[in-house]
Structure 1
Amino acid sequence: MTTMNNLRVGTAFDAHQIEAGKPCWIAGILHDGVDGCEGHSDGDVVAHAVVDAVLSAAGLGDLGSFVGVGRPAYDGVSGVALLRELRELIDAKGAVILNVSAQLIAQSPKMGPVRAAAEAALTEALGAPVSVSATTTDHMGFTGSGQGRAAIATALVDVGGV
């Protein structure tokens, strides 16, 4: 049973540099014709922020403690795969992810035309509603200059017996 004492909020931030020629996976979907983000994985800053926010809310650390850093098994792993693995962990702990809100901070790709698809991909992988929004920094800073992308996410988790 959900009580106010069992509800926890987690907030997270992730950022990656843009890597020319790398496929662009953002918010669980491939964005054709756009350079992706560097990283050990697929560089999906939105998915990574969601993972960190859920882990934070559940009191289970962060992405580094969840999958480790520099482990060859996670070379190129997709953000969606990480969300599915996270879902299994949360379920095993007896917690329930209630919802997540994530925001991309970047000049590209444009999320409006693909928002529904992104929300569906993330929601299916996580097993909980995920809303996606996006903003720019009006060409200021590393996201505004097109050097990188960032994302923030907030998750609400019923930790139950965790």
Structure 2
Amino acid sequence: MNIRIGYGIDYHQLVEGRDLFIGGIKIPHNKGALGHSDADVLLHAICDALLGAAALGDIGVHFPDTSNEFKDIDSKILLAKTKTLIEAEGYKVINIDSTLCLEAPKVKPYVPQMQETIANILGITAKEVSIKATTTEKMGFVGRKEGLVAHAVVLIWKFGN
């Protein structure tokens, strides 16, 4: 069986006047992530991990922030398009392990809904989507609540082999 691993990371600044989307879920907060799309840091990290595992470049190659086509796009659409890209190469997702780094808001209550959302898009079970969260103990830009970070590791396999 041809198994490959991929790693993704994404950063976004937090600003007033934007909605906060993480893991495909709108989360109530006084700030949202700044970006060309809806700036869903977790879905972007997962997209990068999937694309990297399949050696297809990164999210900027396929969904450039210079394109009006992707302006304010729902990142769930980007994840679905990423799934199509890796499947065209003969790959399917085995599992995802991810970590969110942010001081606020607390995301634990939203994790099960994020897992279900991501799993439904990728055609896997929620049990195959791990989402953890941590703070930076008030250090750095994350600690000052200026931004957030997501890391994702994925395992994919080539079907038909």
TM-score, with structure 2 as normaliser? 0.92
| Structure 1: tracts of 5 or more residues without a match | none
1:100 aligned partner: 96
1:35 corresponds to which of 27, 31, 34: 31
2:126 maps to 1:130: no
What is the rounded CA distance, in whole Å, between the counterparts of 1:44 and 1:156 in structure 2? 21
| Structure 2: tracts of 5 or more residues without a match | none
CA contact (8 A) 1:102 1:133 kept: yes
- Give the deviation of 1:160 after TM superposition: 4.6
What is the rounded CA distance, in whole Å, between the counterparts of 1:135 and 1:72 in structure 2? 34
- Give the deviation of 1:14 after TM superposition: 0.5
2:155 aligned partner: 156
- Give the deviation of 1:127 after TM superposition: 2.0
What is the rounded CA distance, in whole Å, between the counterparts of 1:47 and 1:35 in structure 2? 18
1:63-142 equivalent positions in 2, closer than 5 A: 63-128=59-124, 129-142=128-141
- The aligned amino acid for 1:146 is K
TM-score, with structure 1 as normaliser? 0.92
- Give the deviation of 1:158 after TM superposition: 0.9
What's the % identity of the aligned pairs? 35
What is the rounded CA distance, in whole Å, between the counterparts of 1:105 and 1:69 in structure 2? 23
1:10 aligned partner: 6
- Give the deviation of 1:109 after TM superposition: 2.1
What is the rounded CA distance, in whole Å, between the counterparts of 1:109 and 1:123 in structure 2? 23
2:58 maps to 1:62: yes
CA contact (8 A) 2:54 2:89 kept: no
